Amino acid sequence: MADGLTDVLADKKALARRRAYEAPLATLNPAWASAFRDDAHWPYFERLRAEDPVHWTPDSNYGAFWSVTKFNDIMAIDTNHQVFSSAKGIGLSPKPGVLPPEAYRERETREGDVGDDANSFINMDPPGHDIQRKTVSPAVAPARLMEMGPVIRERAGLILDALPIGEPFDWVDLVSKELTTMTLATLFDFPFEERRKLTMWSDTMTTAPGHGPWTTYEERRQLLADCRAYFIRLWNERVNARPAGDLISMLAHGADTRGASMDQYFSNVTLLIIGGNDTTRNTISGSVFALNRYPGEYDKLRANPALVPSMVSETIRWQTPLAHMARVASQDFEFKGRRIREGDRVVMWYVSGNRDDEVIADPYNYIIDRPSPRHHLSFGFGIHRCVGNRLAELQLTIIWEEILKRFPEIRLLEEPRRSYSIFIKGYEQMQVVIPRRN
Footprint of ligand HEM (CB under 6 A)? 78, 121-122, 133, 140, 271-272, 275-276, 279-280, 283, 316, 321-322, 325, 378-382, 384-388, 391-392
Nearer to ligand HEM, 133 or 338 (CB): 133
Determine contact, residues 184/192, Cβ cutoff 8 Å.
no
Nearer to ligand HEM, 276 or 363 (CB): 276
CB of 210 to ligand HEM, least distance (A): 25
CB of 148 to ligand HEM, least distance (A): 11
Nearer to ligand HEM, 172 or 434 (CB): 172
Nearer to ligand HEM, 103 or 200 (CB): 200
**Other CB atoms closer than 10 Å to residue 103's CB: what's the count?**
15
Backbone torsion region of residue 134, taken as left when φ is above 0, otherwise alpha when ψ lies between -120 and 50, otherwise beta: alpha
CB of 438 to ligand HEM, least distance (A): 27
How many Cα atoms sit within 13 Å of 265 on the Cβ side? Answer: 26
Instruction: Kindly state the DSSP code that residue 424 receives in the 8-state scheme.
Output: B
Nearer to ligand HEM, 316 or 434 (CB): 316
Nearer to ligand HEM, 69 or 280 (CB): 280
DSSP 309-333: HHHHHHHHHHH-SB--EEEEESS-E
- Cβ-based neighbours of 378, under 8 Å, separated by 6 or more: 316, 317, 319, 320, 321, 322, 350, 354
- Cβ-based neighbours of 187, under 8 Å, separated by 6 or more: 139, 140, 246, 247, 272, 276, 391
CB of 271 to ligand HEM, least distance (A): 5
- Cβ-based neighbours of 132, under 8 Å, separated by 6 or more: 120, 121, 124, 256, 257, 268
Determine contact, residues 168/433, Cβ cutoff 8 Å.
yes
Distance CA 8, CA 341 (A): 41
CB of 281 to ligand HEM, least distance (A): 9
Beta bridge partners of 432: 169, 412
CB of 107 to ligand HEM, least distance (A): 20
CB of 382 to ligand HEM, least distance (A): 5
Query: Angle formed by the axes of helices 262-293 and 217-239, to 10°?
Result: 110
Phi, psi of 241 (to 5 degrees): -105, 175
CB of 202 to ligand HEM, least distance (A): 11
Residues in the chain: 438
Nearer to ligand HEM, 221 or 330 (CB): 330
Nearer to ligand HEM, 140 or 329 (CB): 140
